[in-house]
Amino acid sequence: MAMALKGLVGLTGLLLAVMGVRWMFAPVATADELAITLDGVAALNTARGDLGGMFIAGAALCAIGLRTGVGQWLQAVAVLIGCVALGRVVGMATDGFATSSLTPFIVELLMVSVLLAAARPSGVADSG
């Protein structure tokens, strides 16, 4: 089971890294795919820094958690992604439901589940 969890955590980290690199180096194209308009230098800087930085940090924390076997690193990523999912719930409650948000929401919940399972001593954490 630990091997499967390690693979899923690695896949999560890879997905976060790809998303982070896309936000960092192709923010306009990435935003367009998500129906987000980036208007001006400040918006581009915010997208690169906040979104790119958050995703790349999540990927780095996944890598550290896998490398060290310390579950707290994976828990930190789970908290970040969980807060993103919470933001979607708030958006659905206040702005309405968009079907295009359902798949990312489900993926986020799956990522949180994988990361929390892997953070347990019987998962990836402390298993060597």
| Residue found by looking up tokens 């992604």 in the block | 81
- Share above pLDDT 90 across residues of the chain, in percent, rounded to a whole number: 91
- Those residues whose C-beta lies under 8 Å from the C-beta of residue 16, and which sit 6 or more positions away, are 55, 56, 58, 59, 62, 77
Domain ranges of the chain: 2-119
Nearest to 19 by CA among 48, 56, 46: 56
pTM listed for this prediction: 0.90
| Mean pLDDT, all residues of the chain | 94
Amino acid 128: pLDDT: 47
Amino acid 123: pLDDT: 74
Q: Give the Cβ contact number of residue 95 at 10 Å.
A: 9
pLDDT in tens, 60-102: 999 999 999 999 999 999 999 999 999 999 999 999 999 999 9
